[in-house]
């Protein structure tokens, strides 16, 4: 949705969702920097990744998550 001052994106994943506080293996879950999670992902047998939330945080002004963690509103102010 686009208004005169904002662009709003609504994304819903059909999966079960997640809790951000349990995402230590994602780039947005580490305070030590965006690459700090890579070693943990390797130990868990996961491919490199986990940058989606970090990227969204840098692009939009607001992220509003649904209660179950499988829906998000991303809001970008244009004016």
Q: Are 17 and 66 in contact (CB under 8 A)?
A: yes
Task: Dump pLDDT digits (tens) for 17-45.
Answer: 666 666 665 666 655 666 777 777 778 88
- Nearest residue to 8 via CA among 58, 62, 70: 62
Sequence ranges of the domains in the chain: 6-77
Number of Cβ within 10 Å of residue 32's Cβ equals 7
52 vs 32, which has greater pLDDT? 52
Give the three-state DSSP class for 28.
helix
């Amino acid at each position: 949705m686009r208004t005169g001052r904002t662009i709003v994106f609504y994304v819903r994943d059909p999966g079960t969702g997640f809790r951000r506080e349990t995402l230590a293996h994602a780039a947005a879950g580490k305070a030590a920097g965006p690459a700090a999670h890579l070693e943990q992902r390797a130990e868990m047998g996961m491919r490199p990744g986990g940058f989606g939330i970090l990227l969204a945080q840098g692009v939009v002004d607001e992220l509003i998550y649904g209660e179950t963690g499988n829906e998000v509103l991303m809001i970008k102010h244009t004016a």
